[in-house]
Each structure stands twice: as C-alpha cells, then as structure tokens.
Chain A
Amino acid sequence: MDLTIAPNPFFWSAESVRRFYDGLADAPVARVVVGELVCSKRLPFWQNEIPQAVEFLQAAGKQVALTSLALITLRRERKLTADLLGMGLPVEVNDLSALHHIPAGMPFWVGPLVNVYNEGTLRWLARRGAERICLPPELPMASIAVLAGIAQAEGVALEVWGHGRLPLAISARCYHARLHERAKDSCQFVCEEDPDGRDVDTLEGQQFLTVNGVQTLSQSYACMAEHVAEYQDMGVSALRLQPQSVGFHTICDDYAQLLAGDLPANALIETLSAAHPDMQFCDGYGHCGTGASWSHGASSARNVPTGCS
C-alpha cells in the first residue's frame, strides 16, 4: 500500500497553499490530488498556485490528479469541470457529472464522494476508464473486502479513507454564511477564518460536526491505523490522508512508517494523540459501522459517545 493525499477541502490563503504543497515534495506519499473540491467561489483566490504545485509535485516524483467540485450546479462550474480536461492530468471525479465531459477511453480517477457501494458500480466505472477508485468512508469492512477482489480483477487501484475529518455531506446551502447571517452570494468568504472548518457542538457540549462552507465533516479526525493490516490483506492499494492545517507532514511520515511495518498502529495513535491533545479521533466505520466511535476508548473528547450505538 501507499499514500494518496486528498484534495484540501478547506479555504486556505494562496500563501498557505504554496507552503503546504512545497512541504509535500519530500513527504513519503505516492500521489496528490489538488484543486478545489468544495466551493468554486474560492478558486480565484488561490488557483494561480495550482500549476506551480503540480509542477513541483511532479518533479518530486508524485502522481498528480485534479479534483472536480463535489457539487456542480452553476454554468460557470460546469465550464470549470470541462476545462479540467485540458490540463493534461487525470481528473478525479467527485461529482458524476464530470463523466459527461470525459470521453470514452480517457482514464480518470474516482474520489470518495462518488457512490461506489457494490460490484456492479465498480465494474461499470472500471470499464468506463476508472484507474483508481477511493471508496466512500461509510463503507463497511465486508464491502471493502468484496470490492477489493473485484478491483483487482478489473485492474483498478482501490483506495480507502485513512486519516482526516470525514466528508459526511454536501449541500447547496452554505453553513458558514448561514452562521454569519449572510446569504451565500454575499458570504464575504468567511470560511477562510477556519482553516480546519468551524466546529459544531451539541447543546450538551459534545464535539460533533464541523462545517466547511457547503460541506459538513465529522469533528473527529478519522484515524484508520488500526485497520491498515486488514486493508493490506484484502488487497487495498492505497490509504488516503486529508490535509489539515497543523502537523500534517509528520502525519504523512507516521502513516508511511505504519504501511512499511516500521511503526505499529498503537504507537501511531499514541504519537498522534500526544501531538494533538485537543483532537478527537474516530474509526467506527472500520469496525461497528457507527462512524463516530473510536476503538481506543475515551479520548480527550468532551462527553462524546465513543462506543458503538
């Protein structure tokens, strides 16, 4: 197995983006998906960084793909999607309408926001040209095992979610704008204030969700370290790590060591918890199916149900 870096779902300044991808050049990761996933309005602020990041990462020997938006509605967004094809890089489809623009025979990647739940869908996508497929995070282990077999038979590289706040929902409504009592069209780009999203707690103070513009994520950081050995046995070929604003390069190093067998899962979790005492973790999709649960018992989280419901 190797590592894939997910597109950054958050709104970072051009300078932060540049620093982030510069730093990835010597990280032990095989590939990086770049581009805007969540909100097309953010692109003008940082899109000039994309060509340089691509060049830099390719020079460092990484495979690079460009993501589509997660929800394409506006005419401008459709055109943006069509334009992705002219960049000479594989497109990672995160909204199926991107397929309308990809000619038969042209290879593409499929991201975790496309619903690939079963053999029929995986086979159809493989025959349409999918080279790599990252499965939706909510998929149970039993499904991943079945799909890993089919993926091998179809010659598709199968990827699963490894680390980062889980992408749980996408909406036409912007929750950042709503929280600031602004309309979406006059949001004044408030999501830039929250480089890892804005936390949403329950009325009893439980850490629950995180909003990121039109996207809703888990507030807990998924850490699937405990399940990596099973993924390896199944024939899953890559683990996906999602960018975060703090400590990400160390996180890449740790997961690379885990995949190489040089760092046990327990040690990775201990290191991670020590480095990020405020971070709450989850891995329930890997065992009982309740995404929020955490197989390592109570973390530093405030009053969060960590068992399987």
Chain B
Amino acid sequence: MELVCPAGTPAALRAAVDAGAHCIYCGFADETNARNFPGLNFSRAELADAVGYAHARGAKVLVAINTFPTAGHEALWHSAVADAERAGADAVILADLGLLAYAAEHHPDLRRHLSVQAAAANPDAINFYASAFDVRRVVLPRVLSVEEIAAINREIDVETEVFVFGGLCVMAEGRCSLSSYATGRSPNMNGVCSPPEHVDYATDGAESVARLGGFTIHRTPKGEAAPYPTLCKGCFTSGDKTGHVFEDAVSLDASTLVPRLAKAGVTALKIEGRQRSRAYVAQIVRAFRAVTDALEAGRTPPELALARLSEGQAATTGAYAKTWR
C-alpha cells in the first residue's frame, strides 16, 4: 500500500521522504489549498526543488489545490494547476467541479485525484467524477465503515485513498460552513477552519474561556491545558445535556485497521497534518511504513504506540469501525 504523507514545509517534505513516505502531499502558500495557515506551504521554487528531492529518492509529490475558487478570481487557482504541472508534480488533488473541468481540458496529462473536500461518499459520486473528469484516485470522506469502503471498491475502477491518522472532521468535508458562520472564514472559501485571528482566551473566575468569533467553545479550570477552540469539538449545552455535542476531542488512529483496509481494496493510506512539525511527520511516517512493509512481506503488522501524538491524546477509529451506528 502507498503511504501518502503531509508536508507543510520543504523541511517536513524532506523529513517525510527520508522516513520512508511513498508519496507526499503539499500545497501553495495561498488560499488555493485547505491548510492555508500563516508560515505554512510552498512557493513555486520550493515546490520544484521538493519534487526534485522526492523524485531522486523514488517518492511522488501530490499538490492539493482543494479549496473552491472564488468567483471573479479563478485565475489564481488556474495558475496553481499550471504551476504544479510545471514543477513536475505527479498529480493534483482537486475538489471543485469547475476546476476539475478546467484541469481536464487544459492539463489533460496531469493526473487528477479527487480531494476529500469533494465528499464523494458512494460509488455513484465516484463514477460520476471518474467519467466526467477522468479522475484516477478518490480520497474517501471519513464517514465510511471498512465494509462500506470494500463495497465501494467493488463498484468503481479508480483508486481509493483513506485517512488513517491525524485530525478528524466529523462533518462531511467540503460541505461545512460552521467556521464562516462564526468568523467569516471557512475551509471551502479560505482554506481555514476556526482561524486563530478569531480566537480569544479570557479568564472568568476559576476558569479559562476560549471563544471563537465571540462564541464560547470551551471553559476549562485554570491551570488545565485549554484545547484550541475548534468549533465542532467544543463543549455545548442542549436541553439537559452538556458536553461534546458533535465530537469528543479525539483524533483518528486507524493503524490497527490497515490490514482490513488493504483487504477492502484501498490503494493508499493518508496521514493528516500539514500543519504539524517535521519531527511529528517523520515519526508517524516511520511507524506507518513499518506497518505497510510488514503487510507487503506477509508479516503481522506491529502495533503502533502513537497515543501521545494524537490530538488531545485520545484516539478513535472514527467511522471505520462503525461505532457511530
């Protein structure tokens, strides 16, 4: 199986390649990608260098251009596709219908992957993107069980890639405007969710309060680690219930499910975290590479001790194990 690893910086890309990533995904330093954070991502020159470094070591580079172009400003997204091809990228990861159509028409030889932001959650959606835009691989939304993934693979001809580690959206990705409702900036339009410039920490008596766009997302006793106020992971009240209405502060760890995902016909395993440090990336990549190598060799994969790297230090197998049903 192919291991697809995140890189927010050229240094992280080199670390991922050195740690054994088969494939690295990254983005340009602007709103064309869904991790548009300050100090992150690649210039055109950095991308060309990075592709050279990866190719020399047998690894591939995928460029995520997976936000939805702004009306009147499509040229920024069109040039990102052209620049990715010029830099020698092995594929672009796209979500927007119009951008897929543009890339298929103007860059027919540049391989196209469908981003998780397109939320293609069933064979009909995937076959639609494959036939309309010759998409070769689909990153599946994190809403499916392993059985559902196997069933999807039986009905499609394109490759599938699934998330196995890192942050976890519980909402269908690419279809969520919670962030713009509270802050004016959203993943679809700006490549950001719950952006830091709208975060405010305050103290109220014995508690610290974290707000996003003025809405209270967490209250924690002073002295305890206050989690970042990501909107859907907040603590809220509904009727007589108070708690994490949408999702507990956990992140995804599907490392134990890799053999089942392989049996389900999955081609590639994706690790989330372009915003994470290169040390983190290297550690996760090495751990997962041991799993995929063991599988290739017909050995039982090692159990990974990744708990302390998980967000909130608690992990879930998400929808894969069907516990949400």
Contact = CB atoms under 8 A, between A and B. Distances in A.
Contacts of A1: none
A121 B239 CA distance: 41
Interface string A42-84: 0000000000000000000000000000011101011001000
Interface of A is mostly: mixed
Given A72-B122, A169-B177, A142 B101 contact: no
B280 interface: no
Contact of A184 (B99, B101, B324): B324
Nearest to A178: B245
Contact of A142 (B72, B122, B123): B72
Contacts of B247: 173
Nearest to B209: A204
Nearest to A125: B97
B70 A143 contact: yes
A153 B84 CA distance: 32
A140 B186 CA distance: 12
Contacts of A99: 128
A137 B181 CA distance: 10
Interface string B216-227: 111100000000
A305 B214 contact: yes
B69 A168 contact: no
Contacts of A95: 125
Interface stretch (B52-60, B167-175, B285-293): B167-175
Interface stretch (A17-25, A259-267, A284-292): A284-292
A120 interface: yes
B267 interface: no
A216 B242 CA distance: 17
Interface stretch (B230-238, B271-279, B294-302): B230-238
Contact of B74 (A75, A119, A174, A309): A119
A73 B71 contact: no
Contact of B213 (A143, A285, A309): A309
B128 A96 contact: yes
Given A73-B144, A202-B215, A309-B198, A137 B125 contact: no
Given A97-B122, A309-B182, A120 B236 contact: no
Nearest to A150: B71
A158 B325 CA distance: 38
Interface in B59-73: 68-72
Contacts of A146: 71-72
Contacts of B144: 73, 172
B301 to A, nearest CB: 27
A97 B218 CA distance: 37
Interface string A107-146: 0000001010111111111000000000011111011001
B96 A121 contact: yes
B238 A117 contact: no
Contact of A289 (B74, B122, B180, B188): B180
Contacts of A184: 324-325
Interface size class of A (residues with CB under 8 A): 35 or more
Contacts of B319: 172-173
Interface in A161-216: 166, 168-175, 178-179, 183-185, 198-206, 208-209, 211, 216
A175 B121 contact: no
A33 interface: no
B216 A143 contact: no
B172 A118 contact: no
Contacts of B170: 171, 173
Given A118-B71, A183-B325, A206 B125 contact: no
B269 interface: no
Nearest to A138: B177
A184 to B, nearest CB: 5
B32 to A, nearest CB: 12
Contacts of A183: 324-325
A194 B98 CA distance: 38
A146 B73 CA distance: 10
B67 to A, nearest CB: 9
Contacts of A168: 176-178, 181
B5 interface: no
B236 A171 contact: no
A290 B242 contact: no
Shortest beta-carbon contacts, A-B, top 5: A120-B98, A305-B214, A172-B143, A97-B125, A121-B98
Given A121-B96, A173-B324, A200-B237, 8 more contacts: A100-B127, A117-B96, A120-B96, A168-B181, A172-B319, A200-B245, A206-B216, A290-B184
14 contacts: A120-B69, A121-B68, A138-B180, A139-B71, A168-B177, A172-B121, A172-B172, A172-B319, A198-B238, A199-B238, A203-B237, A291-B182, A292-B215, A308-B184
